[in-house]
Amino acid sequence: GQNIDQPTEMTATEGAIVQINCTYQTSGFNGLFWYQQHAGEAPTFLSYNVLDGLEEKGRFSSFLSRSKGYSYLLLKELQMKDSASYLCAVKDSNYQLIWGAGTKLIIKP
Amino acid sequence: TAGITQAPTSQILAAGRSMTLRCTQDMRHNAMYWYRQDLGLGLRLIHYSNTAGTTGKGEVPDGYSVSRANTDDFPLTLASAVPSQTSVYFCASSDSGASTGELFFGEGSRLTVL
C-alpha cells in the first residue's frame, strides 16, 4: 500500500529552527508537496520538490531524497504565526496526491 | 480575487437527509477535487474531475456523488447522510498543466450528521 509518515506533533521555541520530516512509500513518484494549514482554515501551498536537493523560499526550505523516500521541511526564525499543521503529500504514478496526516507544530514564546 | 468558494460553511444535517455542498472556482482550472478531512487522518479524496464533463472516484467515494457540468462548478451530493459522513469537506482545484500543479483549496464546509 501507499503510505506517508510524519510526526504527529512537534514543539519548538520562537526564533529557533525546526525540521519536520516526511517519509513516503508510494507507487511511483511525480513530486512532493508541503502545505501549511492553520486551525480551522484551508491548506495553503508552501513548496514543491520533484528533483533531489534543497529548495529555499524565504524562511522555509524543503529537501527531497527520492532514493531514500524522504523529505523535510525546515522552518527558520520561527514566529508565533508558524503555529499550524504541516501536510506532506506525494503525487504517485497516476498523478494522484497521497497525503500524510500532518504534523501539528506548536511554537512557544 | 475569490479563488474557490464553498457553501455552506457549516451545516447540521439529520441522518437520512440529502445535502449538496457547493463549490465554485474562478481560476479556470481544469481539475477539481473533493476531500474530506478527519482528525488524525490525512486528506482523503472522495471524487475528482480532470476536466468539465468527466468525473472519477477517489479513495472514499461511497455515499457521495458529483457532477461537472462546466469548468467552474463541482457540487458534491450526499444522497442519504449517515453519521460517519460527519467531517470537514474541502473542495480544491488545480491547473494540471502547470509546472507544479499545486492545489488551491476552498475554506471548507463543516458537516455534522446526527
Between chains, do A42 and B102 touch, taking CB under 8 Å as contact? Answer: no
Distance between CA A103 and CA A8 in Å, rounded? 5
Distance between CA A12 and CA A14 in Å, rounded? 7
Q: Identity (one letter) of the amino acid at A86?
A: Y
> What is the reported pLDDT for B1?
61
Nearest residue to A64 via CA among A18, A9, A22: A22
Of chain A, the percentage scoring pLDDT greater than 70 comes to: 100
> What is the reported pLDDT for B100?
82
For chain B, give the mean pLDDT: 95
Beta strands, E only, chain B: 4-7, 10-13, 19-25, 31-37, 44-49, 56-57, 64-66, 76-78, 87-94, 104-105, 109-113
> What is the reported pLDDT for B28?
94
Which DSSP state fits B75?
-
Confirm or reject contact between A95 and chain B (CB < 8 A).
yes
Of chain B, the percentage scoring pLDDT greater than 70 comes to: 99
* Residue in A42, A96, A101 closest to B106 by CB: A42
Of chain A, the percentage scoring pLDDT greater than 90 comes to: 94
Which DSSP state fits B73?
B
Residue-wise pLDDT tens digits, A17-57: 999 999 999 999 999 999 999 999 999 999 999 999 999 99
The three cell numbers locating residue B107:
475554506
- Chain B positions with Cβ closer than 8 Å to A: 40-45, 58, 90, 96, 100-108
> What is the reported pLDDT for B97?
78
